[in-house]
Structure 1
């Protein structure tokens, strides 16, 4: 009889414990009662290290700050790998993150090649992916409720449409930079024959077709070893403006080739290139414009910057990336700002989760309401919208010459030449630009 009672007590105790722990039972990988595991693969070395290093540093900084917040029980564990700007390594790293590290989400998926090659795999696994550091058209979904892919930065096709609209509608031409192009102006397009270049080109061609101006497009593809000859050919065609459709490295190569061949026509490029740190410092003989979906300027704010920007600076400084004399001062780095946005959007989705955290509940939370993008507008994933941000500002590259050392004047201490993108148009939608 005692044995029977003991067995009943043990059985009831087991049922009781199961009931108590039921609400805390882990039903998804990468999540425990005290931890949420996320990760990414990025270029820490190689051609695009200037993108991947500050981007990843900002994500880490946001999560470090979050983990120190009072009341946070589930800390974020951030795992990041270097793919050395090699898409095949990026694929391997992505599979390792999902299958071996068992991450709950990919936060800040970096690289056009890596992202394009892994999207079907990520969708198959159902692992949420928040923010892709690229804008390839494969990220665009018209209406796909439950889709784990959450692109934030603009899709390249939209980027191309905006670049064409700026070229044909903005009064930034002429001696005083206050004239628009003529209706029959020649629009030169230098594009890279890869996913990024072709995706941006598609948007340019979309707008040219709508404007019935396709005949005035001069389109030429270039590679690193052909950029010089292609640029010469483009200039021989005498375009009125040149749009460069490609990522940071080829864009910089195109700028140098254009300058070396005495180009004087304005250049407009993608938002991915509006970070002066990836552009060779020199006094170019032509104006250089780029789109920007992040806007940190507020005339009413401290020193003319928005509070959202100062929040970003505080986060980076706390993580050790704010020393003005250090090489890794990322408080003015556009790629660090992008990483900051990636982590913040993920945390916003996490805060909206109701009940137990699973892939499904997180995706539902991301679709439940518009999310405020730090230093930007809102993004709305409701009803399966996966469009990325579709409104951008316009910035211009401004060159500051070197200052020679003058020991007699403290204010005239030696400084190297530098340049920076300065906003010339506020964030506007495609329709607003075309209405000008």
Structure 2
């Protein structure tokens, strides 16, 4: 009888482990949001509004920060040239080299010394995480965080000065998992769905970005009652190869890489070197071929995208909103053919463009009324805001969820499309390259919500 009980207990333990009881708990506690005092304001004069950010302009993430800020500056230059603008935008920015401590120091300088009215385009997972409590304490409006860590997710918090735009990583992870189990992407012809018992591998970086994305993957797997088929492993830069080797030994049918640009690239290289053939799905932060080692991989690579510039009916197949972005960048000197700072096809520049445009949408709503922290936040909450080259963001009722609908793209070899840049009227530039590169992430599914994706299962 004792042996029978022992066997039963052992079987129950194994069953619980298989059902995901050993999966890591990566949820974060929601920060408290103090009320914004009425009349609180700084950085505003009769003729100017001072805003700023801290971003990496040196170091490994300079490839993100430089084009991101270039687009913000371009949008503000365009805005300042308008005849109907009473107050011109002054933009102050500091380099943090992607160091969180420096980012916090810079943020305090912006708020306490430069007296900015708002932070526009707050860049980097480490910096955003380190500064959120301070931003909430100071009530300073923050529009667009260039990261999606789960600390940015808030529920019913009217008056919250933190207004993230790009998708929160938890949502990103949920959508990545939903795509994996719902889309017809697999099999010899790339048109089959995964079997219900297929193994989904999850490689996540042991940092805020990776853990935030992985928490969404785990949550969605539990919602689908398929968590027992998850294989979840964390990795660091120095352990990438060994962890990837362990993952491949378990023979996953698809692998989701949860992490930002540099570790994603390391994981891709290791997966290819070790002979992986399983498709890889990743975060929207990685769907830019300029940040990975570009080559022909032995497996398909997919990623989410919250910006959509494709319109089959548009000029060269691109949307009118994309060409408006090109015009803004070209006018600011960032559209010269062949130049290293031609950012007309750069995803990070598009993100900076969105950040500045969303900030200005709030200013336009305040209009001639008194501009304070509270009046600005109230204006931002008053109705959904259209996202250039994207959907909408809704801050009403204190929602701070970020964008929750995304497209799906695939790394592909594309022929360059050349023609005239419509932003340079009267100049024929037959060598103007419309496509981003010979390898680029190409949209294969339109922007869809989580519910729409799951409906395909």
Equivalent residues of 1:131, 1:152 under 8 A apart: yes
Report 1:136-155 matches (<5 A): 136-155=149-168
- Listed one character per residue, the Cα deviations across residues 291-312 of structure 1 (whole Å, up to 9, x for unaligned) are 0000001111111111110000
Count of aligned positions: 400
Who is 2:297 aligned against? 284
- The alpha-carbon deviation at position 70 of structure 1 amounts to 1.3
- Listed one character per residue, the Cα deviations across residues 198-232 of structure 1 (whole Å, up to 9, x for unaligned) are 00000000011111111110111111111011111
- Listed one character per residue, the Cα deviations across residues 361-381 of structure 1 (whole Å, up to 9, x for unaligned) are 101100011100000011111
Aligned counterparts of 2:184 and 2:116: Cα–Cα separation in 1: 49
- The alpha-carbon deviation at position 60 of structure 1 amounts to 0.5
Q: Are 2:451 and 1:431 aligned?
A: yes
Who is 1:275 aligned against? 288
- Listed one character per residue, the Cα deviations across residues 147-192 of structure 1 (whole Å, up to 9, x for unaligned) are 0010000000000000000000000111111000000000000000
Who is 1:70 aligned against? 83
Equivalent residues of 1:281, 1:418 under 8 A apart: no
Who is 2:407 aligned against? 393
- The alpha-carbon deviation at position 282 of structure 1 amounts to 1.0
Who is 1:17 aligned against? none
Equivalent residues of 1:106, 1:128 under 8 A apart: yes
- The alpha-carbon deviation at position 71 of structure 1 amounts to 2.0
- The alpha-carbon deviation at position 27 of structure 1 amounts to 6.4
Q: Are 2:126 and 1:113 aligned?
A: yes
- Listed one character per residue, the Cα deviations across residues 58-116 of structure 1 (whole Å, up to 9, x for unaligned) are 00000011001112120000001000111100000000000000000000000101101
What secondary structure sits across from 1:320 in the alignment?
A: coil
Report 1:17-416 matches (<5 A): 28-353=41-366, 355-399=369-413
- Listed one character per residue, the Cα deviations across residues 219-253 of structure 1 (whole Å, up to 9, x for unaligned) are 11111111011111111110000000000000000
Who is 1:16 aligned against? none
Aligned counterparts of 1:205 and 1:422: Cα–Cα separation in 2: 27
Aligned counterparts of 1:308 and 1:77: Cα–Cα separation in 2: 25
What secondary structure sits across from 1:61 in the alignment?
A: helix
- The alpha-carbon deviation at position 324 of structure 1 amounts to 2.4
Q: Are 2:442 and 1:422 aligned?
A: yes
What secondary structure sits across from 2:403 in the alignment?
A: coil
Who is 1:405 aligned against? none
- The alpha-carbon deviation at position 28 of structure 1 amounts to 2.1
Equivalent residues of 1:135, 1:153 under 8 A apart: yes
What secondary structure sits across from 1:360 in the alignment?
A: helix
Gaps of 5+ in 1: 1-25, 403-410, 412-416
- The alpha-carbon deviation at position 401 of structure 1 amounts to 9.3
Who is 1:9 aligned against? none
Q: Structure 1 pair 265/252, CA: closer, same or farther in 2 (3 Å)?
A: same
Who is 2:28 aligned against? none
- Listed one character per residue, the Cα deviations across residues 357-402 of structure 1 (whole Å, up to 9, x for unaligned) are 0101101100011100000011111111111000000000013599
- The alpha-carbon deviation at position 270 of structure 1 amounts to 0.3
Aligned counterparts of 1:74 and 1:180: Cα–Cα separation in 2: 54
Aligned counterparts of 1:153 and 1:190: Cα–Cα separation in 2: 22
Aligned counterparts of 1:357 and 1:200: Cα–Cα separation in 2: 36
Aligned counterparts of 1:422 and 1:27: Cα–Cα separation in 2: 45
Aligned counterparts of 1:269 and 1:71: Cα–Cα separation in 2: 43
Who is 1:8 aligned against? none
Aligned counterparts of 2:265 and 2:414: Cα–Cα separation in 1: 18
Q: Structure 1 pair 401/260, CA: closer, same or farther in 2 (3 Å)?
A: farther
Aligned counterparts of 1:122 and 1:283: Cα–Cα separation in 2: 44
What secondary structure sits across from 1:73 in the alignment?
A: coil
Equivalent residues of 1:296, 1:308 under 8 A apart: yes
Equivalent residues of 1:282, 1:399 under 8 A apart: no
